Chain A
Amino acid sequence: MVFFASVLAFTLEGASGQSIPQALVGAKLITISGDEIETGTLVVQDGRITAAGPVDAVSIPAGAVRIDCAGKVIMPGLICTHNHVGGIGGADNSGPIQPDVRIFDSLNVRDAGFRRVVAGGLTTVNIMPGSGHLLSGRTIYLKMRRGNTVEDFFIRDADGIVMGGVKMANGTNSLREMKGFPRTRAKSAALVRQEFINAGEYRERLARAGGDLAETPARDVRMETLVDVLEGRKIVHHHTHRQDDIMTVMRLAEEFDFRVVLHHVSEGWKIADQIAEARVPCSIILVESPGGKLEASELAFETGAVLERVGVLVAYHTDDWINDSRLFLRSPALGVRAGMSRAGALKAVTLAGAEMLDLGDRIGSLEPGKDADFVLLSGDPLSVYTKVLQTWVEGERVFDRSDPNDRLYAVGGYGAGDDAEPFTCCIADEGNE
């Protein structure tokens, strides 16, 4: 199974960036796609990167706004494959499998969490419903643009379809003493298998009807979502911790041939070879201590290093509010502490996440043609002393630590927990430093 379908690098929203080129000059560029550039120039225009290279190799276009970034560091905007900000409410208690639920129908984009996300340097997030269900709904991939409604944050594919995945879970969170919910792991798997079998039959009926309205089954939103999964249009983002639960996910993915990213993967270090062999990507969580529930009691800082060593595609995620988005860079840093390579750890918060969201050719690295999503840092990304100074999405500055309103969300303080004010107008990027 080839995991990543190629997607045309076309974005409807990409055109929103400034048409005047902007050149950020003198920063160290951590491109992710290539070597780190000690003193570089990044040029962005119309929401895209037009150049990224050493200062003496990049010519600044005539009329460009020049921004001095000497002594600073620029890296791609951080990508979080698993985030719960925005006051979300996905599936309810009515049943364990709810593919009809779309998480974006519950999102409050003025939630303070959204401001903390950009303060942390995150530019793309996968907002997911929780893990208390076998299938808790559709997820949504968002660009952290300035926006007033959730639609302003959408990412669309080449066909204009809003991008997102499907959230599933196994292990203990979805075992519940409620009507219709499983009480055991085997029952969990059985319920999921039955649902996919149903979806497969729905898909066959659709195919057999061949457009004949008389034969076409009635629209079923639940089945439609699962057909998207069976046909590879939506990736399953699967919460799973214990090694046997991880194996169960891979077993089901193989049986029904769906694309899956393993999420959390606390005991992934125990079955790294099996994960590598199945070529399944892992979006992992790193928290300061193991435990808090049985299936996370053997969580280890080393998971990233172990999976990297056997060639698994590894991303980190915040799982905000498990980890605050503002401290996302702590995860790759602690990963390096436990033996992961620096390059692998930095890729794990950028390009690896992009690939897990089918966005690998649009975001995640500093390369010409990609969206101008990046962070300006005061120093090395793995240092605790480093601050996110600015966050840019598609050529627009969406966070600026020197702005007191933005700084409030970055460090906290009175009012930092309140909903953000709406963006009332197209705020110009006046006062480039």
Chain B
Amino acid sequence: MMPTSLSPSLSMITAAVLIAAPQPPALAQVVVRGKTVHTMAGPAVTDGLVLIRDGKIAFVGPAEGVPIPNGYRVLEAEVVTPGLIDAHTTVGLSGIFNQPQDQDQIERSAPIQPELRAIDAYNTSEALVEWVRGFGVTTIHTGHAPGELISGQTFVVKTAGTTVEEAVVVDAATVSATIGPAALKNKEKDKDKSPGTRGKMMAMLRAEFIKAGEYRRKRESAEEDKKPERDLRMEALSRLLKKELPLMVTANRAQDIASALRLAREFELRLVLDGASESYLLIDEIKAAGIPVIIHPSMYRATGELKNMSFETAAKLRHAGIPVALQSGYESYVPKTRVVLFEAAIAAANGLTWEEALATITIDAARILGVDERVGSLEAGKDGDVALFDGDPFEYTTHCTGVVIEGKVVSDEPH
């Protein structure tokens, strides 16, 4: 639906319906007015209005002629965007203090543990969740971090809510894998553990998927009393083989990206590439495979497997037709998280158009994560998630002046 194409008469009808509605509870009823409203579902609207009723967007379009119903809180801003989406983070599992009690993003007891669910590890009260929300981030794809061959699952969650059940958007989004040096056990203390080499890494992954294929076949075909016992690990991998979930592979060096593509071909997996610092060397291959890429933050340290990282990767991939989203990534030290708004800003300054850059943290991210029915653009029927700014959101000196999630104003202090 293109809200900006609404004719004035239709606007009036919509408004009339709104007025006729019974007086709603004070919370999820908000009107956001913006001098510029970037809907990400059509051209930006000048002097626009977003009307949120019962947590959902009821109307988006020019403000003129649209009466504001009684009992609605009105917020105003220079620039209004959809609530921002961080396409890959670990916040909520990784916490601000970086102490053992707030670091649940990686479980070191075994290299392959796809049965670990993000929903069982996410802390809605984590300070870093509130921190990124202050910059307009309303939806995050978070979960188990890179650093083990298969570290666990990820999920999609809103940055508001007291319990994870209130906040969750998708309870299992991907299974997170790492192909590259971060998953190798090559330190002195690990020297007798696997995987110790790139070859062994791929052998272990292949063995596990072959095993999961057998498990799936037996579970689906065997008679009830001969079915293998339920095995969480095998169930999680079976979901990948059934293409219910994608495998998200963090791989940075070109050869590791190529290994991920090879694995996905062999087992017919849905693949999402993550990190992908040398993906600009494999544009044809990635495009041919139809795989989206969630690119590492621009301020990752340019060393090791990231030594050839480029600020222009997003532009190169996007302009080749590859779906691209940006992320705050996983940080093991200081700062404990990046902010995806600043990542899009760097991309906008390095080859992406302004609108393309905003798409990497809104609608394009939503599509890659499969949540574009609910979030990523300002369209009637979608969740009432909005970010307000007092200028160009990408400028460092601009403030995020308000954040609305499902019609609730979760931040109205300038950040």
Contacts and interface: CB of A to CB of B under 8 A. Distances in A.
Interface of A: 112, 116, 287-294, 296-297, 321-324, 327, 330, 333-334, 336-337, 382-387, 411-418
B63 to A, nearest CB: 28
Given A288-B342, A291-B97, A334 B334 contact: no
A112 B307 CA distance: 9
Contact of B303 (A289, A294, A297, A417): A417
Interface in B157-174: none
Contacts of A384: 342, 345-346, 348-349, 394-396
A135 B224 CA distance: 69
Query: 9 nearest interchain CB pairs?
Result: A417-B307, A291-B96, A292-B334, A333-B396, A412-B310, A287-B335, A291-B336, A292-B336, A289-B335
A139 B128 CA distance: 34
A292 B95 CA distance: 8
Residue among B98, B298, B336 with most chain A CB within 10 A: B336
A419 B102 CA distance: 38
B123 interface: no
A382 B128 CA distance: 26
A310 B396 CA distance: 24
Interface in B326-349: 331-339, 342, 345-346, 348-349
Nearest to B316: A413
A271 B99 CA distance: 26
A290 B99 contact: no
B280 interface: yes
A108 to B, nearest CB: 13
Nearest to B278: A414
B131 A289 contact: yes
B335 A416 contact: no
B96 A411 contact: no
A414 B127 CA distance: 37
B308 A327 contact: no
A337 B333 contact: no
Nearest to A321: B301
B311 A289 contact: no
A297 to B, nearest CB: 5
8 contacts: A288-B339, A289-B339, A292-B332, A321-B303, A324-B302, A384-B349, A385-B394, A412-B310
B307 A327 contact: no
B302 A116 contact: yes
A150 B349 CA distance: 33
B320 interface: no
Contact of B337 (A288, A324, A411): A288
Given A323-B299, A337-B396, A337-B397, A292 B307 contact: no
A190 to B, nearest CB: 26
Contacts of A330: 342, 396
B281 interface: yes
B307 A287 contact: no
A291 B98 contact: yes
B131 A417 contact: no
A82 to B, nearest CB: 13
Interface in B274-305: 278, 280-281, 298-299, 301-303
A418 to B, nearest CB: 7
B397 A413 contact: no
B405 interface: no
B135 to A, nearest CB: 9
B46 interface: no
B148 to A, nearest CB: 21
Contacts of B312: 411-413
A414 B280 CA distance: 9
Q: From DSSP, what is the main secondary structure of chain A's interface residues? A: loop
B310 A292 contact: no
A321 B348 CA distance: 23
Given A291-B95, A294-B97, A411-B312, 4 more contacts: A289-B131, A292-B336, A327-B298, A418-B307
Nearest to A286: B335
Nearest to A290: B96
Contacts of B394: 384-385
A292 B308 contact: no
Contacts of B399: 337
Contacts of A324: 299, 301-302
A288 B335 contact: yes
Contacts of B299: 288, 323-324, 327
Contacts of B306: 417
Contact of B302 (A289, A334, A412): A412
Contacts of B337: 288-289, 291
B99 A289 contact: no
A258 to B, nearest CB: 27
Contacts of B333: 292-293
A297 B398 contact: no
Contacts of B346: 327, 384
Interface string B349-365: 11000000000000000
B51 interface: no
A6 B29 CA distance: 63
Contact of A382 (B131, B278, B397): B397
B334 A296 contact: yes
Contacts of A387: 349
A420 to B, nearest CB: 13
Interface in B229-286: 278, 280-281
Nearest to A287: B335
B338 A294 contact: no
B309 interface: yes
A411 B281 CA distance: 15
A357 B338 CA distance: 30
Given A384-B348, A414-B281, A289 B128 contact: yes
Contacts of B301: 321, 324
Contacts of A323: 299
Contacts of A411: 310-312, 350
Contact of A333 (B303, B339, B397): B397
A321 B335 CA distance: 11
Nearest to B312: A411
A417 B308 contact: yes
Contacts of A116: 302
A413 B310 contact: yes
B115 to A, nearest CB: 29
A319 to B, nearest CB: 9
Contacts of A415: 308
Nearest to A298: B96
B302 A292 contact: no
Contacts of A289: 96, 128, 131-132, 335-339
Contact of B335 (A292, A336, A382, A413): A292
Contact of A416 (B98, B302, B349): B302
B296 to A, nearest CB: 11
A181 to B, nearest CB: 20
B386 to A, nearest CB: 20
